[in-house]
Structure 1
Amino acid sequence: MLRLLEGSSVSLRSWLRSRVVGWLDAGMSDDRNVDGVEAVLAGADGRLADPGFLVNADPEEVLGLVDAASGPAGRLAGAVYRASAHLHREVGAGVRRQLLALDAARYGDRGLAARITAVLVEGEPAAPWGVEWATGSMVDRSFWQPLAGHTSTVSGVATGVEEGRPVAVSSSKDGTVRVWDLATGRQVGRPLTGDTHMVSGVAMGVVDGCPVAVSGDDETVQVWDLAAGRQVGPPLIGDTRVVSGVAMGVVDGCPVAVIGSRDGSVQVWDLTTREQFCEPLQDHVRSTVDAVATGVMDGRPVAVSSGQDRRVRVWDLATGKPVGEPLIGHTDGVYGVATGVVEGRLFAVTGSMDETVRVWDLTSGGPVGEPLTGHTGWVYGVATGVVEGRPVAVTGSGDGTVRVWDLTTGRPAGPELVFPAEVFAVAVTSDGRLVVGFGHEVAVLARR
């Protein structure tokens, strides 16, 4: 009977119920008929509760059983499968395994996520990444109790330490900044909110020994005391500029915020005195500055900025002067930038609307190798870090994927990770975990 219904648009549970009603009306019902229906329903629950079946079975076969689930485990598994059903039909079992683990975590069942990740797929290596936790703002809460999170697009993520525990900080177009315990996925305190309708990015650092987050919104920059869960002083900028990128650094021992603006300038603010450290840095040609990052090159604190003029600019933060010539190579606007150190040299990694990722040696002022290709959408999020002892770049794209690149070889460090929404923000923790902002959600993945 199940085989006849595979691929049918008719709900299996509805069909079975209609059959029972038919038997009752015709006076044909007996214990054997009822037992037969219960056996079918129990069989659906049993198969859906098998992670190997979810991962390896034909999607139409699985979807044909979803409506027949009656027990808690079966119904949850069905909801997990449905969450990314539009993708399951298009991908192989290896990618399906990763998506199902992610969606199980979005529903709050980390155990199911781990069991799915452990499933073996013929012809595929073991899953390289496991999902530690994920928010589930957009899933059906009637099935489980997911972690509540943002209610609009996640625009930025950063990592650090607050009161001795590793945390992630996320910003969103819903106007909030949220702090997450990296170990549990639980939200730390209440959402941080200001007088804004959206937050375009977030960075994390330390001011006067206290962990802070700096976030940018439509016209201002807010500084948040993470331990106290409150705003520190008035906004740093109160004019008509629109903030499009934020980063934190240190100049002469002073913590600074580096702000990219849609008026084409880069501003540097002393977070101790709450005054501008220097005059706005102006070199992007009639262009929004979409991303900024900081680093130390040859003992000098520097900022790196990128924007719609396709150029990448390096600035000496101590003097406010540009370093060298603009880095040119992208053929469209540059949305993401991060810095990292490889063999003692400071590098910048950039992601662009031209769907490529480029690596730049900031000491020599030139590109490193050929552009990194593979994304099929604009590259929004860029981060660097160390994973299993290797310096890596991590990039997130509008194509719904995250890619990890080995910076010593210029090659992918494993297969791409697939998400059910655009990826606007990525970060790498100090112990090599990935923090990913996709759609309205935040997820943390760790190497297995």
Structure 2
Amino acid sequence: MDAVACTTLNGRPVAVTGSETLRVWDLATSEPVGAPIDVGGRVSALTVAMTPDGPVAVTGTTNARVRVWDLASGLDRGELEGAERIYVTALATTELDGHPVVVALAQGRKVHVWNLETRRRLATFESRDAHVHHVACTQLEGRPVAVVSSLDRWLTVWDLKARRRVGSFGNDGDALMSLACTSLAGRPVAVCGSFNGVRVWDLSVSRPLGRPVTGHIRRVSAMDVGELNGRPVFVTGSHDQTVRIWDAHTGSPIGDSMKGHWHDVRSVACTMLRGRSIAVTASWDGTVRAWDLECQVTHAHLTGPSERLTSVTCDVLDGRPVVIGSAQDDSLWTWDLATGKALYPPLPSAVGARRAMASTVTAGRLIAITSGEGVTQFWDLADRRSIAGIRHSAVAIACADIGGRPAMVTCGRDATVQVRDLATGRLLGPPMPGHSRPAQSVRCGTLDGRPVAVTCSIDDTVRIWDLENCTPVDTLHVPGVSQAVLLDDTGRLACAFGSDVAIFTRQ
């Protein structure tokens, strides 16, 4: 899919997607509406508009054609005047003198405006900025305007009625990668995204509003839920080498990114130490850091492994927080978080530790679970020995408490989710199918007072499972999802996809 836009069709909300064809999707049912529409090339730009004859889509394609499509019938309404050999990189729609118009950015410096009812070209602007890249439309002092961004970090505002430039201002930082327009407190604003974050500009005065809103700039690879000053938060680690704290109620970042790792952050685990909130992170730079979330500084460095760690977990043993880490050479490491020193000597060659690892405390003993080479094994970390094993290969593991019984949840290579008694390794119910591809992470929590597991898979779904009955509860479709955790008992869910995070709530 190369482009997407939303509109209504027969009173129902729909999404229009473009690639080799156009497809219309009913957003209420997630089902396609009608047959695919052959647009005669690969879609390079897409927008939608409402005309007197109904909703239409406007496409630019890689073979340099710009055409209008009737979404109800799928019929071609024709090519826009003078657009026979125009390669369009971006499209936006608005109204001019009561008629729907489309604004198109052509490769180079051209900005074209067409009437969608007649398909006649109304104007062509020559931008002074090189490589115009994005366009969005809004109203400025009651007049329709087009806001155009360029790769050289400039925003230009064009009055579509007067057909002239009415504003131009530079954006500090990196090149603009996305653009949208809306209103804020009754004033028109442009929202610009770059590698440095998101910045809001007041179009009336051509000035930025507040500080840039920042987040991760590369894939989020780890996530855990914690607490900060009595408020629930979640903490993320990313391939951009940073760690971030997010408000679990609003989804807004708290403070700046925490920097110190010089390679991908691969694992995050949250805990408490002497009343202070701590996040422990493992990076492929070979280091393990404990961060004080209130001060947003490194509290301690946990040292020892010669190989980089692939995951970390936190537990409480005899009232003191401990950290368990699995390394690339399948060794297991245990630290006392208060001292930053090793609690036990490392356990070498815990088969599969680098692929899947979880930990728990049962009967006063610190236990790690690893899986690899067709076997899932249980390790007593104090005695540095295997205490049990079962013939089962898991991609991801988590521990849970089910009615006072310690249990583990595994995501198998066969794409099923299994719940097992931690003491015996026996299944507590039938394997649960649902994912079409193996789940890459599993986290446990409670939902409406019942123990559940949350799994996310490369099949682009997040699934919630009832652990007592071994039955599915809900499914959420999130393209590109890599991590998912429950934030509270009501079902609020934090998901990471790409470099973004979002909070979903149950209806």
Q: How would you bin the TM-score normalised by the shorter chain?
A: 0.5 to 0.7
1:418 paired residue number: 477
| Pair 1:430–1:69, CA change in 2 (3 A) | closer
How far apart are the structure 2 equivalents of 1:398 and 1:138? 25
| Pair 1:316–1:147, CA change in 2 (3 A) | farther
2:341 is aligned, of 269, 275, 278, to 275
Question: By how many angstroms is 1:314 displaced?
Answer: 2.4
How far apart are the structure 1 equivalents of 2:56 and 2:506? 40
2:230 paired residue number: 164
CA offsets per residue over residues 273-323 of structure 1, 9 Å max, x none?
Answer: 2111112224533x45223333333x3343333344243332334544433
2:389 is aligned, of 319, 326, 340, to 326
How far apart are the structure 2 equivalents of 1:294 and 1:261? 14
1:365 paired residue number: 425
2:400 is aligned, of 305, 317, 340, to 340
Question: By how many angstroms is 1:199 displaced?
Answer: 0.6
How far apart are the structure 1 equivalents of 2:338 and 2:180? 42
1:428 paired residue number: 486
How far apart are the structure 2 equivalents of 1:195 and 1:301? 32
8 Å contact 1:300–1:316 — kept in the other structure? no
More helix by share: 1
8 Å contact 2:317–2:361 — kept in the other structure? no
CA offsets per residue over residues 129-185 of structure 1, 9 Å max, x none?
Answer: xxxxxxx88999699999532112211111111112111000111111100111222
How far apart are the structure 1 equivalents of 2:395 and 2:438? 8
1:374 paired residue number: 434
With the length of structure 1 as denominator, give the TM-score of the two structures. 0.68
Q: Over aligned residue pairs, what C-alpha RMSD do you find?
A: 4.0
How far apart are the structure 1 equivalents of 2:181 and 2:326? 36
Question: By how many angstroms is 1:407 displaced?
Answer: 0.9
8 Å contact 2:261–2:283 — kept in the other structure? no
2:288 is aligned, of 221, 224, 230, to 221
Larger Rg: 2
| Pair 1:400–1:187, CA change in 2 (3 A) | same
Paired positions, count: 349
1:354 is aligned, of 404, 414, 418, to 414
How far apart are the structure 2 equivalents of 1:419 and 1:198? 23
How far apart are the structure 2 equivalents of 1:138 and 1:236? 31
2:255 is aligned, of 189, 199, 208, to 189
| Pair 1:336–1:273, CA change in 2 (3 A) | same
SS in 1 for 2:256: coil
1:289 paired residue number: 354
Letter in 1 for 2:294: A
8 Å contact 2:198–2:213 — kept in the other structure? no
| Pair 1:205–1:107, CA change in 2 (3 A) | farther
8 Å contact 1:387–1:433 — kept in the other structure? no
1:254 is aligned, of 316, 320, 334, to 320
Question: By how many angstroms is 1:221 displaced?
Answer: 0.6
Question: By how many angstroms is 1:409 displaced?
Answer: 1.5
Question: By how many angstroms is 1:210 displaced?
Answer: 1.2
8 Å contact 1:313–1:327 — kept in the other structure? yes
How far apart are the structure 2 equivalents of 1:277 and 1:428? 30
Question: By how many angstroms is 1:393 displaced?
Answer: 0.6
Question: By how many angstroms is 1:195 displaced?
Answer: 3.5
1:311 paired residue number: 375
Letter in 2 for 1:345: R
Letter in 2 for 1:178: R
SS in 2 for 1:375: coil
| Equivalences for residues 70-89 of structure 1 within 5 A | 70-71=137-138
How far apart are the structure 2 equivalents of 1:4 and 1:251? 62
How far apart are the structure 2 equivalents of 1:402 and 1:137? 28
Structure of higher RCO (CA pairs closer than 8 Å, 6+ residues apart): 1
| Pair 1:3–1:261, CA change in 2 (3 A) | same
CA offsets per residue over residues 338-376 of structure 1, 9 Å max, x none?
Answer: 111111101111124432222111022222223222212
Unaligned runs of 5+ in 2: 1-50, 61-65, 70-76, 84-94, 103-133, 146-178, 185-192, 202-208
Unaligned runs of 5+ in 1: 22-35, 45-66, 76-105, 112-135
2:219 paired residue number: 153
How far apart are the structure 2 equivalents of 1:107 and 1:340? 43
CA offsets per residue over residues 165-212 of structure 1, 9 Å max, x none?
Answer: 111000111111100111222211221121422111100001122110
8 Å contact 1:265–1:281 — kept in the other structure? yes
SS in 1 for 2:423: coil
How far apart are the structure 1 equivalents of 2:196 and 2:426? 45
SS in 2 for 1:149: coil
How far apart are the structure 2 equivalents of 1:150 and 1:318? 38
Letter in 1 for 2:296: G
SS in 2 for 1:240: coil
CA offsets per residue over residues 223-247 of structure 1, 9 Å max, x none?
Answer: 10111110013x2125531211110
| Pair 1:360–1:108, CA change in 2 (3 A) | farther
Letter in 1 for 2:291: W
How far apart are the structure 1 equivalents of 2:303 and 2:463? 35
Letter in 2 for 1:343: G
| Pair 1:345–1:290, CA change in 2 (3 A) | same
Letter in 2 for 1:329: H
With the length of structure 2 as denominator, give the TM-score of the two structures. 0.60
